[in-house]
Structure 1
Amino acid sequence: MIDNHILAPVFIHLFTAIIQLIAWRKTVTQRFLSVGGSFIGLLIAIRLFSTVYQDGTLFLNASNWEAPFGIVFVADLLSATMVMLTSIAGFAVSIFSTASLSRQRMLYGYFPIFHFLLMGLNGSFLTGDIFNLYVWFEVIIISSFVLMTLGGRKAQLEGAVKYMAMNILASTFFLTGIGILYGITGTLNMADLALKIKAFDNKALVGITSVFFLLGFGIKSAVFPLYYWLPSSYHTPPSAVAATFGGLLTKVGIYAMLRVFSLIFIPDEFTRNLLMVLAVLTILTGLFGALIKSNIRRLFSYLIVCHIGFMLGGISMFTKIALMGTVFYLIHDIIVKTNMFLIAGYIRQVRGTMDMHRVGGLYKEYPLISLIIALVLFSLVGVPPLSGFWPKIYLIQEAFVGHHFIFITAIILGSLGTMYVIAKMWVQVFWKDVPEGIELEDKYKNLPLFRKLLLIIPICILAFVTLYIGIQAESIVKVVDRISNELLDTSPYIRTVLGDKANLL
């Protein structure tokens, strides 16, 4: 079904960014524009999700060039869900940014670049063209690099260099794979590629090409052994930036894997085994890194790596139950990880540091917000019936069926390790008293009431969404069930995009 509103989630952030560029020196105006634009974007995303859920996959041929000759934008249930999650996270971060960032950073162009980043994320989820996906990835990389370097501190620049170097390498692998694909098929449309790859006889060349995509997306997702750039860079920018990165950027790589390896490169036995090995090693590497960290944001960065392994393992099994677990975990992880970095920023505001050994007493001073944070922490650990519990059940269930006992062990170790480091953090930051002899820099107490609310409200919004995902798991299961069916049977997607040209199905 053709729908011109598919590009609305992209255009709303484009127009918001352009208007903010006009109001470059007016930071108060930029704040209102950012929150307003993000809220409108959220409403648009909800409408898109509702339309796709009720009417099925939507598409739009750019400039009226019919597929596969022109660029096509496609909104199936997976992409519509990702756009909605991006909009929820973006709305929360935009509110937090208005109170947590200094005016100096805002004058560097934070808000326009932030909306360019959201535009790139939405564009990457909605495109149906493999080269266009690369273009959106570059928009994301450029925007995120600028956000990471805002302020120009030495640690930021060091982290940005590592981040940019690895992402350039990922883009090189990605672009190489696209070049080979175009050379052997003569098309860049993903639906058309799905048909032509099936008919291509040289399966060895197809397998080699898929490795380039695996390397490119693996780097972007922080998969072992090319993960080290993430914990080396995500702790350096402001918390609002880190929240966007931690919640969304690595998940773009997971989304791309789901899209490409379900539509174009159906995983063979070798690919599945390789993905499973990488999944186990990614879980263990992230876990071991988190166990030895005392800086809150560094700890969260390693937990991102650890939990990416859960989703990678689900992709490697590539069955309906496994994909349901992967997509469910993806939904949970975007919201929770975004909130975790906002919480880290809140702790920084209250205590002036994110070193767990130098803080304490938060529960005693701020009991209500501490309980809300506890809810988020329990969700991250996977305490039933919260959001992190249900996808693990699906992943473990399917791993038992497939006799992937090492992966089950890795999930259990990753979950227990997450529980340990989060319990340690809770004790150090919230329960124990402030260490003697340490003077705290409590900026929060001196803030006006409305700025305090702007720091707390986004944490509460995302905590509510997390609670909804856990308590209303049945509704989420209905969504991920349909998504997994669409990933395993891509013929409706192909027919929607190509119409009568999909005559090879």
Structure 2
Amino acid sequence: MAGSYPSPEVDFSAAWNLTPVSAGDWLVVAPTVITMIGGAVCLMARKNTNAQPKLGLIFLTLLVLANGGLLLRVLDKGVITMVMGSWLPPFGIAFTVDTLGATMSLIASVVALCAGMYGASSVGSTGRRYGFYPFLLLLMTGVCGAFLTGDIFNLYVWFEVLLISSYGLLVLGNDRPQLDGAVKYGILNLIGTNLFLIGTGLLYGILGTLNMADIAMKISQLDAPAHGTLATVAALYLLAFAMKAAAFPVNFWLPASYHTPNVVVSAVFAGLLTKVGVYALLRIFVMIMPASREYMADLIAVVAIATMIVGALGAIAQSEVRRALGYLVIAGIGSMLAGLAIGTPLAISGAIFYAVHSIIVMTALYMVAGVMQQMGGSYDLRKLGGLYAASPAFAAIFLILAFAVSGLPPFSGFWPKVMLVESAIVTGRTWVAVAILVGGFLTTIAMGRIWIYAFWRGGPEGTADGTAVALPATSKLLTPAAVWVPICILTALVIYFGIQPEGMFTLSAYGSIGNVDPSGYLNSVFGGAQ
């Protein structure tokens, strides 16, 4: 009988990791677990609109703590890998966390916490009922998952999670402009996502693996005939992530959509979503496909320069504050792509530092724009004026952020631009260095124009010169602490990273070197067996 035969002994040691996971390594999955549970709890409590901000802020605070602990553990232990189901790589779905991923995840969670605070005041009961905090937490699930995953297909999955959540945030309020912006946003991101998926399918067909470390190893061992197909994959990835990062010429969806939702949603989008695209470009073209990056370096440099200049000129041309800020998001993406194009460890380090800076400063600027609208009653520069007279302290905050986004000292945007310019000159790409400086100059003009129109002049368009017009009663800065606390936190970070940049120098250098020379990443995944 069949039951009479003894069961064969199976040795799982070749396929499974039978060693218990240390308690500290559970921090690898903690960010995604916390946000999933938090989103579910907030969704179940959606009818209790007063409890929504409290619940959301509790889980966002836990997220910051988990990401902070994860970064400290990575700095102490090196790259950490956890594979789902105990399967050994490359068979299992891996989370692999290095300094770059942990740093980006921590900064993203700090920005999300600030957005949660700001939303406690700016998002009304209707927005809370229809899911602002669940969507925000699930957005962070996708963002943190993308930064922490070690599997290229699951990078696609986490992109889908954050995009689905972002659609919900974008249409929150159901106004006609929001729906119009959501359609443009959705169509372009759908195209980018499909290109990403096609490229991943081709890559799997060539290599038979989806693990990032395994892909990096096998690409380095490919025979010459396979490089033609690999170039196609690289081109698909470049176009897909350029769309998601809003790089020229596929950047037009961003200024058409980011000005339509609640300003706190715009702030989160400006700070985080495009940076996930930049992170993917750095991870794929620096660590996984370095030969393709070198081959496409001139093309990436041209795209970077065009993105910087078009973004800055677009900001100068706008009369609506949020549209102008949308173009400044695009201009900043150009600076990050310049670091990718140059490709040296210093340039990649500068791109990482600039990404962290941009996450903080663009989120803060959109929040400041919300206060400008509250004080002056409009986002239109033609209808604003006299904000300096209403609050010199608020004007000072705006000026700090304006200096930072322009790359002027002594604030956070100065140092990464120095790193990028230096690396461009050292490698003979003087034209890239000139473009970075010209882009910064044009950004200074754009921010100066907003300062003059909204803060310095006495009142809206048509006000006689030298006349100070009394602003509406709502402009007397009766803004709740829920708005001022996150703005002040982000502004303090901008000042700190400008005056004390050593910490970010170290983190960005570790992140750069770990991708240019991924031996530590590979050792973590395969235990030195490669």
Q: TM-score, normalised by structure 1?
A: 0.96
Equivalences for 1:120-269 in 2 at 5 Å?
120-201=142-223, 202-266=226-290, 267-269=292-294
Matched residue of 2:428: which SS? coil
Residue of structure 2 aligned with 1:94, choices 116, 120, 124:
116
CA–CA separation in structure 1 for the residues paired with 2:497 and 2:400: 13
Q: What is the aligned counterpart of 2:410 among 350, 362, 385? A: 385
Matching residue of 1:462: 490
How many Å apart are 1:375 and its aligned residue?
Answer: 1.5
Return the letter of the residue paired with 2:33: F
* Cα distance in 1 between the residues matched to 2:365 and 2:94: 35
Q: 1:268 to 1:83 in 2, by over 3 A?
A: closer
Residue in structure 2 matched with residue 394 of structure 1 by the alignment: 419
**Contact 1:352-1:442 within 8 A present in 2 as well:** no
Residue 406 (structure 1) shift? 2.1
Closer, same or farther in 2 for the Cα pair 1:125/1:432, shift >3 Å? same
Aligned match of 1:424: 449
Following superposition, the deviation at residue 443 of structure 1 comes to 3.9
Q: Take 1:371 and 1:287, find their aligned partners in 2: how far apart are those partners? A: 22
Q: Give, as a single letter, the amino acid of the residue that structure 2 aligns with 1:354.
A: Y
Check conservation: 2:402, 2:447, Cα contact below 8 A: yes
Distance 1:423 1:46 in 2: 36
Equivalent-residue separation in structure 2 for 1:144 and 1:109 (angstroms): 11
- Does residue 1:366 correspond to 2:366, yes or no? no
Cα RMSD (Å): 1.6
Structure 1 residue 432: deviation in Å? 1.2
Match of 1:73 in 2: 95
2:323 to 286, 298, 309: 298
Q: In the aligned structure 2, how far is the partner of 1:268 from the partner of 1:119? A: 29
Matches within 5 A, 1:434-453: 434-435=459-460, 443=474, 445=476, 452-453=480-481
Show the counterpart of 1:279.
Answer: 304
Indicate the residue corresponding to 2:15 in structure 1: none
Report the secondary structure of 2:173's partner residue: coil
Count of paired positions: 499
Output the CA distance in 2 between the equivalents of 1:81 and 1:442.
Answer: 42
Equivalent residue runs for 1:311-350 within 5 Å: 311-350=336-375
Q: 1:15 aligns with which of 10, 31, 37?
A: 37
Matches of 2:160 and 2:97, distance apart in 1: 21
Moved over 4 A (4+): 436-442, 444-447
Deviates more, 1:194-203 or 1:367-376: 367-376
User: Aligned match of 1:494 in 508, 516, 522?
Assistant: 522
Q: Percent identity?
A: 38
CA 1:13–1:460: 2 relative to 1, 3 Å:
same
Equivalent position SS for 2:270: helix
Shift of 1:203: 1.2
1:351 and 1:442 in contact (8 A); partners too: no
Question: What is the one-letter code of the residue matched to 2:234?
Answer: S
Structure 1: tracts of 5 or more residues without a match: none
1:385/1:445 Cα in 2 relative to 1: closer, same or farther (>3 Å)? closer
Deviation at 1:373, TM superposition (A): 2.4
- Partners of 1:365 and 1:338 lie apart in 2 by 23
Give the conservation status (yes or no) of the 8 Å contact 2:357–2:412.
yes
- For the residue of structure 1 that corresponds to 2:458, the secondary structure is coil
Per-residue Cα deviation, 1:377-426 (whole angstroms, up to 9, x for no partner): 21111221211111111111111122222212211111111111111111
Query: Alpha-carbon deviation of 1:445?
Result: 4.5
In the TM superposition, what is the alpha-carbon distance from 1:101 to its structure 2 partner? 1.3
Question: How far 1:270 moved relative to its partner?
Answer: 3.0
Superposition deviation, residue 342 in structure 1: 0.7
Q: 1:193 to 1:269 in 2, by over 3 A?
A: closer
Amino acid at match of 1:411: I
Equivalent residues of 2:286, 2:293 under 8 A apart:
no
Q: Deviations over 1:55-107 (max 9, x none)?
A: 21111111212111010101100000011101110010000000011211111
Residue identity matched to 1:189: N
Is the 1:17–1:112 contact (alpha carbons within 8 Å) kept by the matching residues of 2? Answer: yes
C-alpha displacement of 1:467: 1.0
- Cα offsets for 1:198-225 (capped at 9, x unmatched): 1121211111111111111110000111
Deviations 1:158-199 (A, max 9, x none): 111010000000001100010001101111000011111111
Asked if structure 2 preserves the Cα contact closer than 8 Å seen for 1:262 and 1:490, the reply is: no
Matches of 1:268 and 1:86, distance apart in 2: 26
* Contact 2:293-2:341 within 8 A present in 1 as well: no
Bigger CA radius of gyration: 2
1:32 aligned residue (34, 39, 54): 54
